Amino acid sequence: MENKFIQNKTALIALTAACCIILVSMGLRQTFGLFFNVFEESLSVSRTEFGLAIGIQMFMWGLTAPLFGLIADKVGGNKAVFIGFIIFGLGIFFLYSGPNTGVYFQLSLGLLVGTALGATAMSVPVSEVGKHFSNEKRTLATGIVTASASIGYFLTPLFTKYSLIEFGWQNTLLYYLYFIIFGLIASLFLIPKTKNRELNETLDEKQTFKEAIKEAFSHKGYILLVAGFFVCGFQITLVATHIPGYMQEKGLSDWSAPIILALIGFFNIIGTLGMGYLGTKYSKKILLSILYFSRAIVIALFIFSPISMFTSILFGIFFGILWLSTVPPTNGIVAQIFGTKYLSSLFGIVFFSHQIGSFFGAYLGGYFYDLYGSYDYAWYISIALSIFATIVHLPIDEKRIDRLAKPI
């Protein structure tokens, strides 16, 4: 029984629900960059304004992730995610129905959608599933959840591009509301774990939230994880938001960006599942360093090689493998060091750093283009940050803290 990957029906239901939730929330999130051209034409939105909205979205996603993480830790992830999808629906509805220019554009696409992502995308669903699995199986379980985002990443850019051409941007946003209703239903099945089965559950259960936060920020490894995850956010949001503009700048077809995003989604399945498995076998900090160094190489080869559809496809494949592969080992290190009682909250704080990086990736990409007529400086920063992240993960001590390492 102990060797089984899924120990009980509750874990299976929670895993399935989290996969559906991530598929919807991350799938929709991946497509917003495809709306830039129609927003520019219909709403007179500049690249800087669009980048700012996505930046606010990323910042609010990160800012609210710890809050929804605390709600999940206290009353259940199902309730936190349900609230998030209600807010998600409001943001898309206001963007669809108007007013949707100026500050209202920032409020709907930025503030409301970003707040919703804090509950529905990544940190809460991944961490809630992690609570159902042992330390040995956790990275594989979270890898499966993260990989489910790839189905959304693969399908939604293609659907969105087709829908924008055939039905227009407002009808496309209306269709998004149907996906959100599906997410609402799925959230009801993200069943909380009612009993902690880890060996040191007594010490884990006695800890208060305030003690958990103090303990985490007094641990050097946690600080380094927070710093490293900033880089992940910068890079993936720079690509997700500005790859359509970059392809347009280089003279490639309108379909080149959706194809790249779809390839990223598809090959992310390989990356996240593979990293989830490797995280059960090897040091997670070493895996993270390898991932970030690989990103530096892939980005450098992409921007310094002659641009073509072939090189763009290669970029989509290789960057897709590296896309969300950072999530299983990062979440796994937090759980491995501190236990799972406040996993949603502690990983939510790490994810906040990710979203601060996302803000700068989205905003600076548009800012540099409007200022210099090129995305090059944003790419250069991304490569430098990869080298930083490669180095910063190496000193992390992955051992369980004394509170959990001591026998009861």
> CATH number for the domain including 316?
1.20.1250.20
Residue 22 lies inside a defined structural domain of this protein: yes
* Most distant CA atoms of the chain, gap in Å: 65
Question: Would the pTM of this model clear 0.85, i.e. be above it?
Answer: no
Residue 78 lies inside a defined structural domain of this protein: yes
Instruction: Tally the domains of the chain.
Output: 1
Report how far residue 246's alpha carbon sits from residue 376's, in angstroms, rounded to the nearest whole number. 10
Residue 408 lies inside a defined structural domain of this protein: no
Identity of residue 403: R
Residue 158 lies inside a defined structural domain of this protein: yes
> Helix count (H) and strand count (E) of the chain?
19, 0
Residue 407 lies inside a defined structural domain of this protein: no
Residue 128 lies inside a defined structural domain of this protein: yes
How far the first Cα of the chain sits from its last, in Å, is 24
Report how far residue 177's alpha carbon sits from residue 188's, in angstroms, rounded to the nearest whole number. 17
Give the HSE-up count for residue 93: Cα atoms under 13 Å, Cβ half-sphere: 10
Classified as helix, coil or strand, 323 is coil
Segments forming the whole domain that contains residue 166: 9-191+204-401
Whether residue 145 contacts residue 19, with contact meaning beta carbons closer than 8 Å, is answered with yes
Q: Kindly report the length of the chain.
A: 408
Full pLDDT tens readout for the chain, 408 residues: 456 777 788 889 999 999 999 999 988 987 888 898 898 888 888 888 888 888 888 889 888 988 998 898 888 889 999 999 999 999 999 999 877 778 899 999 999 999 999 999 888 898 888 888 887 788 888 888 888 888 887 888 889 989 999 999 999 999 999 999 999 999 999 988 765 544 445 555 678 888 889 999 999 999 999 999 999 999 998 998 888 888 888 888 878 888 888 888 889 889 988 998 898 889 999 999 999 999 999 999 999 999 899 999 999 999 999 988 998 899 889 988 988 888 888 988 998 899 889 889 988 888 898 888 889 999 999 999 999 999 999 999 998 887 655 543
Identity of residue 367: Y
Report how far residue 119's alpha carbon sits from residue 318's, in angstroms, rounded to the nearest whole number. 29
